[in-house]
Each structure stands twice: as C-alpha cells, then as structure tokens.
Amino acid sequence: MNVLRKRPQRFSPSLGAIYFWLFTLFMYLPIGLLILFSFNDGTTLSFPLRGFTLRWYEALWQSRELITAVTNSLLVGILSSLVATVLGTMAALGITRFDFPGKSLFLSMAAMPLVIPAVVMGVAMLIVFTRIGIPLTLWTVGIGHVIINTPYAMLIVAARLAGFEAHVEEAAMDLGADYWGTLRRVTLPMAAPALAAAFLSSFTTSLDEFAVTFFLVGSDTTLPVYLYSQLRFPSRLPLVVTLAAVMMVISVMIVIAVEKLRRMTS
C-alpha cells in the first residue's frame, strides 16, 4: 500500500492579504515615525537622527501652557462624555424598549450629528451662542462635544440593549421590581460594558476634537487647539511632534480598551 506524500504547500499571499499589509503600513508608518522623531535630538524631521534624547518630553512637563491645555481637555472630555453617555443611554432605552409616535424621526434627528461636518457644526453653534449672548468658554465647548458624542453613545448602548431579550426585564418585574428598580439592578448592570465603551469613545472624540473646539473655545485653550497654535513656530516643531506622539499613544490605548469592552458586549 503506497502512502501518498503531501507536497509542502508554498506560501502564496492573496490579494486581500497584500492589500491588508499595505494598508496597515500606510496607516501606522507615520505614527511610528512620529514616535521615533519625538526622541530625535535635532529640531528637523529628517534622517539620519542626530541622537537620542528625552529633553522634548521634559519640556512638555515644564510648559505651563501645555499643562493648562491638558487640564482643560481632560475636564471638558470627562464631563461632556459623562453627559453624552447619560443622554445616549436614555435615547437608546427609548428606541429599543418603547414604541412611540415619531420614533423613526427621532432616531434620524438624533443621528444627524454623525453626518454633519464638524466645521459646519462649529460655525452653526458659534452663531447660535453669539446670537443669544452666551460667552464662548469651556462650557460652550463642552456643549458642542455633548452634541457630537451623544449619537455615538446612543448607538453603542442600543447595540447592547438589542443583544439581550426583554423577557429578562419582564422576569424581574414579575418578581416584584418596578421599572426603575429593574433598570437599576438588571438593565444597566448588563449594559455596563457598553456604557464604559460609550464613555471611552466619547472621551477619545472629545480629546481629539478640533473643528468644533476651535470655534467655541473663546480665550481658553484645549490640547488640539494648543497643538495647532504651536505649528506656527518652527522652533516648537519637536515639542509638537512629541505632544502628538503622546496623544497618539493615549488614543491607541483607549481604542484598544473600547474594542475589548465591545467584544464583551457581543
């Protein structure tokens, strides 16, 4: 009895695999170069590097304007993300658990900020705040970020609420719990990963948002606005590169956390 030997299969990458790796290289090579040049001892972004240094990172901690911008961005990001998550959760409960007149219209209007360009949103809100006499401060920036982030939070939470059956809530009510007790003890705990993912997604968007912030920030400053303002000075370019590298690393870490939470909800 002859035993047929299998020929070793040669590795032949498919067109899809080639496209994937080229796309990955195109997306992440600039990020890698950005982080690499943040350790460059020179002030020009060119090869070869003049040496390895950490002085640009030290300069970040010594910049009072930068610390103020970071503090403002964190404050606006946390507060606006909390409000957007709460409003998005309320909207998600409404569209997944209730039927009411105008439900389709409500869903379309709630998702409208997803398709409107950020520049248009910023100009529109600037006109509104100016006409009604509201001064431009970090509060107006926070309102703009809430408007932008609420649809994202709504869709994330709604996807989770649609993932488990409504009879779980009905069973809790049959055991004597009222609607608010069921919401607090059953629905929200089951949707906790989605709530966390909605908050982190909103925080990432708020931290990186520039167009709306630029029109609504007034005399204050946030991290993206500060980063843009420093590009006018060539001597500050290494500091800008280092700051951008730090923001990129933080954003990637948050995105990874959101993806893990998303997988927990699926």
Q: Write the DSSP assignment of 190-253 as a string of letters.
A: HTHHHHHHHHHHHHHHHHH--HHHHHH-TT---HHHHHHHHTT-GGGHHHHHHHHHHHHHHHHH
Averaged over successive runs of 10 residues, the pLDDT of the chain (266 residues) comes to: 53 73 82 80 70 78 81 91 92 81 81 84 91 90 92 87 69 68 75 85 86 87 82 74 79 75 62
What CATH number is given for 63-265 in this structure?
A: 1.10.3720.10
For residue 172, the model assigns a pLDDT of 67
**How confident is the model at residue 266, as a pLDDT?**
57
pTM, full prediction: 0.75
- Taking CA atoms, 257 is separated from 29, 180, 192, 199, 252, in Å, by 22, 30, 14, 11, 9
Nearest to 39 by CA among 50, 29, 54, 27: 54
* Predicted local distance difference test score (pLDDT) of residue 36: 82
What is the rounded CA–CA span in Å between residue 30 and residue 142?
A: 30
Half-sphere exposure of 141 (CA within 13 A, CB side): 30
Q: At what angle do helices 237-265 and 138-161 cross, to 10 degrees?
A: 30
- What local confidence, expressed as pLDDT, does residue 76 receive? 92
Give the per-residue pLDDT at 146.
Answer: 93
The whole-number pLDDT of residue 107 equals 81
167: Cα within 13 Å, side-chain hemisphere: 0
